């Protein structure tokens, strides 16, 4: 019988977990973030924290230097010669990582208490390729309720990639920081350079390789929302990148197992239409000069994403009792395209 991956890594004196943190001008939050990681990693030589300072112009570098000196052997800091953006930073971290399992954490987020212990328990019991965890929003008044990232039974391992795709797209949470996977899978992922919505691309590449997976219905990560996030400051260029990310899902959806599964196919159509409808509603916030161009972009994307039209998806929503969602989406489509 094959030994679990974590035990094999430890017997080879290799790290079992790598926590990967891309950081750019993150002085306000990086210390809080790293303390949440290092406190849980303390005393475990099998955990490596790897941070890339993406040519920050604030005090991020000084903070990292101080923390690295205080945690020798556990915190490793990489320096980018110039700012390359989040995708380049993540790609560099993946190339440098040596641990058996890898977990991305954004520089302004935190690991919630018990996250690493909970992960280790799941890995020891199930030896999966991928672990999906839930999260909570970090807000000034405290943590929000738990947000689910996968509509699948909790703590129940599965070997079905189609079920993984269906459950993940149904939840609609394709960020990379809620997914812990084997290094050899992550290192087959290439985040697209100089493009927003890179999480959709990276997550879809990852899911396409997974065989054994498990969803843990516990919030292991605190996610900080910002008023100046990509979604809050959407431009026509970013809108175009959003649609490109949705179209880039196609290789995953063309996987033979996924394409043959009705639930996975429907979940993909649902996810794409929800995103298209959201994009349409957000075009109303664009300057008048950009609005018509943005609607033209979305009209072309609709044709490519839904070559047979959106009516079959809307009818499926009505059959499932999603009346309000179907009505709002129909209105958004009609307002933009006239039919």
- Exposed/middle/buried for 134, CB within 10 Å: 0-12, 13-18, 19+? buried
Report d(CA 105, CA 109) in Å as an integer: 7
5 in Cβ contact with 100 (< 8 Å): yes
pLDDT digits (tens, 9 = 90+) for 147-193: 999 999 999 999 999 999 999 999 999 999 999 999 999 999 999 99
* Whether pLDDT at 93 is above 80: yes
Report d(CA 77, CA 283) in Å as an integer: 40
The reported pTM is 0.94
329: nearest Cα among 311, 305, 303: 311
203: nearest Cα among 90, 48, 54: 90
Report d(CA 25, CA 224) in Å as an integer: 15
pLDDT digits (tens, 9 = 90+) for 214-262: 999 999 999 998 765 555 567 888 899 999 999 999 999 999 999 999 9
- Exposed/middle/buried for 120, CB within 10 Å: 0-12, 13-18, 19+? middle
User: Which residue did the predictor score with more confidence, 276 or 3?
Assistant: 276
pLDDT digits (tens, 9 = 90+) for 99-126: 999 999 999 999 999 999 999 999 999 9
* Whether pLDDT at 1 is above 50: no
313: nearest Cα among 272, 258, 278: 272
Q: What is the mean pLDDT of residues 253-276?
A: 97
Q: Give the pLDDT score at 228.
A: 56
Q: What is the mean pLDDT of residues 319-338?
A: 93
Q: Report the percent of the chain where pLDDT is more than 90.
A: 82
119 in Cβ contact with 220 (< 8 Å): yes
Q: Give the pLDDT score at 230.
A: 55
Q: Give the pLDDT score at 141.
A: 75
312 in Cβ contact with 326 (< 8 Å): no
Q: Give the pLDDT score at 140.
A: 73
Contacts of residues 70-73 at CB distance under 8 Å and 24 or more positions apart, as own/partner, are: 71/38, 73/45
Report d(CA 249, CA 246) in Å as an integer: 6
pLDDT band at 139 (very low <50, low <70, confident <90, very high): confident
Architecture of domain 5-224: Alpha-Beta Complex (3.90)
User: Which residue did the predictor score with more confidence, 113 or 286?
Assistant: 113
46 in Cβ contact with 79 (< 8 Å): no
106: nearest Cα among 189, 190, 200, 21: 21
Report d(CA 173, CA 167) in Å as an integer: 10
Q: What is the mean pLDDT of residues 26-43?
A: 97
Q: Give the pLDDT score at 231.
A: 54
| DSSP-assigned beta bridge partners for residue 136 | 222
Computed from CA positions of residues 91, 92, 93, 99, in that sequence, does the dihedral angle turn out positive or negative?
A: positive
Report d(CA 1, CA 12) in Å as an integer: 18
* Whether pLDDT at 330 is above 90: yes
Domain ranges of the chain: 5-224, 236-337
178 in Cβ contact with 184 (< 8 Å): no
230: nearest Cα among 195, 203, 204, 206: 195
20 in Cβ contact with 34 (< 8 Å): no
């Amino acid at each position: 019988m094959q030994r679990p991956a974590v035990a094999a890594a430890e017997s080879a004196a290799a790290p079992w977990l790598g926590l990967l943190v891309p950081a750019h001008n993150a002085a306000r939050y990086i210390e809080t973030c790293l303390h949440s990681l290092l406190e849980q990693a303390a005393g475990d030589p099998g955990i490596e924290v790897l941070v890339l300072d993406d040519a920050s112009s604030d005090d991020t570098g000084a903070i990292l230097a101080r923390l690295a000196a205080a945690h020798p052997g556990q915190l490793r800091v990489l320096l980018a010669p110039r700012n390359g953006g989040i995708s380049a930073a993540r790609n560099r971290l993946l190339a440098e990582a040596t641990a058996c399992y890898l977990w991305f954490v954004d520089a302004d987020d935190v690991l919630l208490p018990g996250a690493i212990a909970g992960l280790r328990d799941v890995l020891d019991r199930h030896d999966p390729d991928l672990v999906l965890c839930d999260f909570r929003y970090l807000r000034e008044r405290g943590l929000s309720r738990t947000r689910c990232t996968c509509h699948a039974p909790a703590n129940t391992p599965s070997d079905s990639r189609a079920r993984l795709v269906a459950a993940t797209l149904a939840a609609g949470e394709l960020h990379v920081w809620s997914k812990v996977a084997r290094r050899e899978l992550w290192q087959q992922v290439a985040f697209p350079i100089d493009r927003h919505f890179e999480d959709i691309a990276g997550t879809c590449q990852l899911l396409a390789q997974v065989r054994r997976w498990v969803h843990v219905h516990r919030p292991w990560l605190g996610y900080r929302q910002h008023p100046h996030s990509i979604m809050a400051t959407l431009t026509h260029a970013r809108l175009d990148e959003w649609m490109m990310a949705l179209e880039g899902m196609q290789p995953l959806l063309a996987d033979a197992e996924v394409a043959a599964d009705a639930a996975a196919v429907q979940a993909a159509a649902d996810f794409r239409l929800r995103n298209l409808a959201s994009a349409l509603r957000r075009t109303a916030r664009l300057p008048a000069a950009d609005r018509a161009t943005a609607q033209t972009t979305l009209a072309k994307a609709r044709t490519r994403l839904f070559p047979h039209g959106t009516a079959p998806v809307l009818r499926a929503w009505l059959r499932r009792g999603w009346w309000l969602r179907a009505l709002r989406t129909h209105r958004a489509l009609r307002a933009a395209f006239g039919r």
